[in-house]
Copies of this chain bind each other. A is one copy, B any other.
Amino acid sequence: MIIVIQCTDRVGLVAAISGLLAKKELNIISMHEHVDNTANLFFMRLEVDGASDINDLQYNLQSILPEGALIKVNPLPYKKIIVLVTKEYHCLADILVRNYFNTLGASVQCVIGNHTTLQDICARFDIPFYLVQANNDKTAFEENIINITKQYKYDYLVLAKFMRILSHNFVSRYPMQIINIHHSFLPAFAGASPYRQAYERGVKLIGPTAHYVTDELDEGPIIAQQIIPADHSLTVHDMVQAGKEIETAVLAKALKLVFDDRVFVYKNKTVVLE
């Protein structure tokens, strides 16, 4: 059983929680906690072994934790996701493969693309693909996407190299539910053409950022980042190619963390309890 807790910090929280678990004869397999002293917040993720009524445990936890505590007992092991794409295949294919072999930690409901490029690969994995063309009318474009999402149950929208900027209206419908892979180590090179920016600036490393999408472009809470070395020998095109490998890896890692309920969000930052 997995238990995640986010609440105001106070002395004795660990004792109270572990005491409750001991009383219920739940054995702690792993426990990770973090305290942000500045924000006075307590975060915990537990894996426990043993039988217990979920509602009862949730109720008991609530009673010993500070008011306003967020508690999830045994969140769903398999989240549901909708994937948005444009033309690049690498992140999508990785997700489809993991989905097919049941190692994604989530279940892909459908894929929405603004080009037909990736339609066939979805068909090969029996995943519905919806073409939503991005014409000049952004509102209509987004309405189309929203209408498709309404046909499905989903926990997250994953932007797997979806190359359109989403409006405030769109983003606000899916608060902390949209995960994006941006192809630069943010906050460097936000916005368009990060590899070109990196090339122009002559940086010696490149790498992507997986983050939650908020109203501010490329300013949402960061989940995972990684870099690879770069040097003068790389053209912009080379950087784009080299970047694909690491984009795939970073998005995969971020999704795994989110789907495993290891990511806590506050103050536009994340706590990741691995």
Q: What is the size, in residues, of chain A's interface with B at 8 Å between Cβ atoms?
A: 60
Q: Is A252 an interface residue (CB 8 A)?
A: yes
A202 touching B185, Cβ below 8 Å: no
Partner-binding segment picked from A19-27, A68-76, A147-155, A166-174: A19-27
Q: Is A78 an interface residue (CB 8 A)?
A: no
B187 touching A205, Cβ below 8 Å: no
Given contacts A14-B14, A22-B12, A204 and B232 within 8 Å (CB-CB): no
Chain B residues near A209 (CB-CB < 8 A): 204
Q: Is A59 an interface residue (CB 8 A)?
A: no
Given contacts A186-B203, A203-B225, A232-B271, A27 and B14 within 8 Å (CB-CB): no
Residue of B whose beta carbon sits closest to that of A264: B232
**Nearest CB of chain B from residue A267's CB, rounded to whole Å:** 8
A89 touching B93, Cβ below 8 Å: no
B34 touching A232, Cβ below 8 Å: yes
Q: Is A3 an interface residue (CB 8 A)?
A: no
CA distance A205 to B226 in the complex (A): 7
A124-168 Cβ-contact flags toward B at 8 Å (1 or 0): 110000000000000000000000000000000000000000000
B101 touching A97, Cβ below 8 Å: no
A14 touching B28, Cβ below 8 Å: yes
CA distance A37 to B25 in the complex (A): 17
Residue of B125, B201, B222, B232 touching A201 (CB-CB under 8 A): B222
Q: Is A51 an interface residue (CB 8 A)?
A: no
B25 touching A14, Cβ below 8 Å: no
CA distance A16 to B226 in the complex (A): 39
B222 touching A204, Cβ below 8 Å: yes
Residue of B15, B203, B204, B268 touching A19 (CB-CB under 8 A): B15
CA distance A14 to B89 in the complex (A): 40
Closest 4 CB pairs of A and B: A202-B269, A15-B18, A188-B188, A15-B22
Chain A positions near chain B (C-beta within 8 angstroms) = 11-12, 14-16, 18-19, 21-22, 25, 27-31, 33-37, 89, 93-94, 97, 100-101, 121, 124-125, 185-189, 201-205, 209, 221-227, 231-233, 235, 245, 249, 252, 267-272
